[in-house]
């Protein structure tokens, strides 16, 4: 187990500094230690708890124990990696330095930036202070995923339940609709489905960014009797009056205000790069760490790499993407340390196990450009019970026992179905 460092007002140097101790940071640290057991590595992470976030939808659907998603951060950081229990307050890549919130300063030879994504609750008027009560919930934060399940159990006949999706990019872009499908299936099993109105309101123009899955997912929603509204973005919530206000885009490009009453609402909040990244010279114009989409190396600072949700790569922000990115970052970083060419390239792989009902999952796998690249020789737009077991049982095991321990087990993905929309 790794001991945290709490001294303040000092400066220390490390060969490699990793900012962020989530899926990306721990995985990179573990792989680095497997390749160079004597490499001086420091990991910067303020949290005591580490969560397996892909299971939050299952928690919200009442089919996964929240306690199983959490482990102590100290038990996950690889032996020999120095854990600095602090947060970055300022990046100064011109001087190979990071200012910490405690007032300390770190310098480095190589930097890996993976602080995750920022959940912008404050961008929805009325959400802050309301979330977690008045049947306003979100699976995007660990404090509220169990409350989603509580809210679902309280739904009665004649009520209206809303599910929202913000503008992209967000982490796990399938999650907002997955919980809607589980809610519908749960209410069907209770005999309430036909007396409860369920609506899915998304700021995006389609059900999914990869065309091959967009059509089939719309059919899933229709099968559940869920009313879908595209180009409709949540702007405000009045929990007392039970009114959600949306901005809907018309076909001519104009917008109109739409108000919806609700008895329960599941909100997927807007998201962005962390503020500390946005205000730094590491960021591109959109605020993300400005890296090459293949090498994962910064476009201006040769000793900086990034991966995970804070990176500018145009892939789906998922744990599956991190699993593919981490070995590439490690090998290219080590090559940079050795002053040789790295050459490994990330193809944009992401995976989204789309839970469409209890016991059913559509496993979407894809790379840059919307190429459909399944790991199994099965049509991925088909809902399968086998993929439910993969999501609920195998993937958490793979995460905790292989990925976070730096084991590079993999199943090769292969383009099989092209990019056009399925019937």
SS3 state of residue 129: coil
pLDDT at res. 224? 98
Residues 186 and 69 in one domain: no
pLDDT beyond 50 at 1: no
Answer for the pair 163, 176: CB distance below 8 angstroms, yes or no: yes
Q: What is the domain extent for residue 203? A: 121-271
pLDDT beyond 90 at 334: yes
What's the average model confidence in pLDDT over 123-142? 96
Q: Is residue 414 part of a domain?
A: no
Residues 319 and 367 in one domain: no
pLDDT at res. 414? 73
Q: Is residue 422 part of a domain?
A: no
pLDDT beyond 90 at 2: no
Q: Is residue 38 part of a domain?
A: yes
Q: How far apart are CA 21 and CA 73, in angstroms?
A: 8
Q: Is residue 345 part of a domain?
A: no
User: Can you give the CATH number for the domain in which 183 is found?
Assistant: 3.50.50.60
Which tokens hold the place of 194?
């036909």
Contacts of 329 (CB under 8 A, 6+ apart): 28, 112, 296, 305, 306, 307
Q: How far apart are CA 19 and CA 311, in angstroms?
A: 12
Which tokens hold the place of 286?
């959109």
pLDDT at res. 341? 84
Q: What percent of the chain has pLDDT over 70?
A: 96
pLDDT beyond 50 at 3: no
pLDDT beyond 80 at 380: yes
- Other beta carbons within 10 Å of 397: 10
Residues 266 and 178 in one domain: yes
pLDDT at res. 248? 96
What are the tens digits of pLDDT across the range 148-179? 999 999 999 999 999 999 999 999 999 999 99
In the chain, the N- to C-terminal Cα span, in Å, equals: 52
Residues 130 and 241 in one domain: yes
Cα distances (angstroms) measured from residue 233 to each of 141, 149, 204, 236, 254? 20, 24, 8, 10, 13
Answer for the pair 170, 182: CB distance below 8 angstroms, yes or no: no
What are the tens digits of pLDDT across the range 262-298? 999 999 999 999 999 999 999 999 999 999 999 999 9
Answer for the pair 137, 289: CB distance below 8 angstroms, yes or no: no
Residues 131 and 205 in one domain: yes
What are the tens digits of pLDDT across the range 311-326? 999 999 999 999 999 9
Residues 251 and 361 in one domain: no
Beta strands in 250-401 (DSSP E): 255-261, 264-266, 271-272, 304-306, 350-357, 360-367, 371-372
Q: Is residue 308 part of a domain?
A: yes
Residues 390 and 354 in one domain: yes
pLDDT beyond 90 at 11: no
End position of a domain, from candidates 271, 295, 314 = 271
Cα distances (angstroms) measured from residue 148 to each of 51, 183, 197, 264? 17, 10, 17, 9
Beta bridge partner(s), residue 271? 119
What are the tens digits of pLDDT across the range 60-95? 999 999 999 999 999 999 999 999 999 999 999 999
Do you find a cis peptide bond into 169, omega within 30 degrees of 0? yes
**pTM (2 d.p.):** 0.93
What are the tens digits of pLDDT across the range 188-236? 999 999 999 999 999 999 999 999 999 999 999 999 999 999 999 999 9
Residues 126 and 266 in one domain: yes
Q: Which are the catalytic amino acids? A: 172, 352
Residues 68 and 86 in one domain: yes
User: Between residues 410 and 96, which one has the greater pLDDT?
Assistant: 96
Q: Is residue 111 part of a domain?
A: yes
End position of a domain, from candidates 249, 271, 293 = 271
End position of a domain, from candidates 216, 247, 271 = 271
Residues 112 and 235 in one domain: no
Residues 258 and 162 in one domain: yes
Chain CA centroid to CA 263, Å: 27
In 3D, which of 399, 317, 269, 351 has the Cα closest to residue 115? 317
In 3D, which of 302, 309, 315, 308 has the Cα closest to residue 342? 302
What's the average model confidence in pLDDT over 128-147? 96
pLDDT at res. 416? 74
pLDDT at res. 412? 76
DSSP string, 240-278: TTTEEEEEEE-TTS-EEEEEEE-SEEE----EE--HHHH
pLDDT beyond 70 at 371: yes
Q: Is residue 413 part of a domain?
A: no
Place of tokens 């979330």: 131
Residues 12 and 131 in one domain: no
Q: What percent of the chain has pLDDT over 90?
A: 91
Place of tokens 């399938």: 174
Domain count, the chain: 3
Q: Is residue 419 part of a domain?
A: no
pLDDT beyond 70 at 343: yes
What are the tens digits of pLDDT across the range 234-264? 999 999 999 999 999 998 889 999 999 999 9
What's the average model confidence in pLDDT over 304-308? 98
pLDDT beyond 70 at 420: no
What's the average model confidence in pLDDT over 367-383? 94
């Amino acid at each position: 187990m790794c001991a945290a460092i709490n001294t303040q007002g000092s400066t220390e140097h490390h060969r490699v500094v990793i900012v962020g101790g989530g899926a990306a940071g721990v995985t990179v640290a573990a792989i680095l230690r497997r390749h160079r057991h004597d490499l001086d590595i420091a990991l910067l992470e303020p949290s005591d708890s580490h969560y397996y976030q892909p299971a939050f939808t299952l928690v919200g659907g009442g089919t996964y124990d929240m306690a199983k998603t959490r482990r102590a951060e100290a038990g996950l950081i690889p032996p020999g990696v120095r854990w600095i229990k602090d947060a970055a307050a300022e990046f100064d890549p011109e001087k190979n330095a990071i200012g910490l919130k405690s007032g300390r300063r770190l310098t480095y030879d190589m930097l890996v930036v993976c602080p995750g994504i920022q959940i912008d609750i404050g961008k929805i008027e009325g959400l802050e202070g309301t979330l977690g009560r008045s049947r306003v919930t979100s699976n995007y934060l660990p404090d509220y995923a169990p409350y989603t399940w509580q809210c679902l159990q309280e739904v009665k006949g004649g009520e209206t339940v809303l599910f929202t999706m913000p503008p992209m990019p967000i982490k796990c872009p399938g999650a907002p609709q997955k919980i809607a499908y589980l809610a519908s299936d749960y209410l069907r099993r209770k005999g309430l489905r036909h007396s409860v109105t369920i609506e899915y309101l998304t700021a995006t123009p389609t059900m999914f960014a990869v065309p091959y899955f967009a059509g089939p997912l719309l059919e899933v929603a229709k099968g559940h009797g869920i009313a879908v509204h595209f180009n409709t973005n949540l702007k405000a919530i009045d929990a007392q009056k039970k009114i959600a206000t949306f901005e809907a885009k018309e076909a001519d490009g104009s917008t109109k205000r739409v108000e919806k009453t609700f008895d329960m609402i599941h909100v997927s909040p807007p998201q962005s790069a962390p503020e500390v990244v946005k205000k730094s010279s590491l960021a591109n114009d959109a605020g993300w760490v400005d890296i090459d989409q293949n090498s994962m190396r910064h476009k201006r600072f040769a000793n900086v790499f990034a991966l995970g949700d804070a990176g500018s790569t145009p892939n789906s922000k998922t744990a599956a993407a991190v699993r593919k990115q981490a070995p590439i970052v490690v090998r290219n970083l080590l090559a940079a340390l050795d002053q040789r060419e790295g050459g490994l390239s990330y193809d944009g792989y992401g995976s989204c196990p789309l839970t469409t009902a209890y016991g059913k999952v559509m496993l979407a796998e894809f790379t840059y450009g919307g190429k459909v690249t399944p790991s199994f020789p099965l049509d991925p737009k088909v809902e399968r019970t086998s993929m439910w077991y993969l999501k609920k049982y195998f993937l958490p095991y793979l995460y905790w026992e292989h990925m976070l321990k730096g084991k590079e087990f993999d199943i090769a993905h292969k383009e099989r179905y092209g990019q056009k929309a399925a019937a």
